[in-house]
Amino acid sequence: MSDPFHALEETVTADVTRALAEDVGVGDLTASLVPRDKSCTARLLTRQDAILCGVEWFNRTVEELDTDAEIFWHFEDGDEVMAGTQLCEIEGRARALLTAERTALNFVQMLSGVATRTNRFVKAVAGTKARIYDTRKTMPGLRIAQKFAVRAGGGSNHRIGLHDGILIKENHILAAGGIRAALEEARHVADPGTMVEVEVENLAQLAEALDAGAKLVLLDNFDIVGLRSAVEATAGRAELEASGGVSLENVRAIAETGVDRISIGSLTKDIEAIDLSMRFIHR
């Protein structure tokens, strides 16, 4: 798969432009109450322990409104931060910082939430060979941002979209005429290096996929016993990915079955934003 972050600057700019247009519209009425030439200093604080993510989105939001603003970060994306910590200090025009505040915080709160949740799963499987993967269950228009946050949390990215990988699911199998037929067609249309994965729902389908030469197989909603049996039956002939019903309570047990990958939709779908605040400093 291609690097989804090769054009991150353009992605960040597009995300911020869209978000500011949504929030600011024709102008910030409340910020207009502040004198135009007033400058200020503000601090960004976290009220929760978290994995920080969203620095570039925060910076771009502020810079879009005040090109002369200066932002001094004490941490980087992927850093673990403790509740009560000052994350950065911002110096700039008061009106601009007031207008930027909510959009900038929204990005960092959401992306840090994704990174933090991902990191909990990564830590839960530490010491096993299993890697934690995201899915396409993302917020529309913010997929690259959320997958960046998964990386910041120590996770791995599954395919970015329908364009850079093949995942043959139940309906594809039915429409194509079977697992073997679908895999053979995938080999014809996929460029070298393109991910080709097939989803199976039982051990019989797993055997069929392996016989057809599958090298990456998604085990859909297998229980622990089924996962162990799948790992034993595969015997290293293909990478195995467990998916469906994964939680912090059972992910360790899933990893200990010997699967190579565990994909979790809730990393980017069930977001619990980190509680942050931006406070102006009285001078």
Query: Is 123 assigned a catalytic role?
Result: no
Q: Nearest Cα to 278, choosing from 118, 42, 85, 5?
A: 42
Query: Is 137 assigned a catalytic role?
Result: yes
Catalytic residue among 101, 199, 208, 260: 199
| Pairwise CA distance, residues 52 & 67, whole Å | 24
The backbone region for 263, taken as left when phi is positive above 0, alpha when psi lies in -120 to 50, beta otherwise, is beta
| Pairwise CA distance, residues 75 & 45, whole Å | 12
Catalytic residue among 102, 136, 215, 228: 102
Catalytic residue among 169, 180, 228, 269: 169
Query: Is 275 assigned a catalytic role?
Result: no
How far out from the chain centre does Cα 100 lie?
23
Catalytic residue among 120, 123, 137, 228: 137
Beta bridge partners of 43: 89, 279
Catalytic residue among 220, 239, 256, 275: 220
Report the half-sphere exposure of 78 (CA within 13 A, side-chain side).
Answer: 8
E-state strands within 146-228: 165-168, 195-200, 216-220
Query: Is 120 assigned a catalytic role?
Result: no
| Pairwise CA distance, residues 227 & 241, whole Å | 10
| Pairwise CA distance, residues 121 & 97, whole Å | 35
Query: Is 102 assigned a catalytic role?
Result: yes
Q: Which residues are catalytic?
A: 102, 137, 169, 199, 220
